[in-house]
Structure 1
Amino acid sequence: MIGNINHIAIAVPDVEAAATRWRSALGASVSAPQD
């Protein structure tokens, strides 16, 4: 069983929309995009 997740990277076409969705749906902490 997974105790916690440290890092997930997902490629998306609209970073801001995806970050908003992850924050609101899961209460996720979303860091700034990396190039």
Structure 2
Amino acid sequence: MDLVPGGTSRLTITGTAEREALAEAISSSGYVLAGAN
């Protein structure tokens, strides 16, 4: 995970995770989930 305040951050997940749980974790950290591939 590379978090860049004010820039573009990158999160790479290997394995499985629910999108909702990831979005909540990211949001609670003060970031916004902009999209997914």
| Normalised TM-score (structure 1) | 0.50
Considering only CA atoms, is the larger Rg found in Structure 1 or Structure 2? 1
Higher helix share goes to which structure? Answer: 1
Identify the structure with bigger relative contact order (alpha carbons < 8 Å, sequence gap 6+).
1
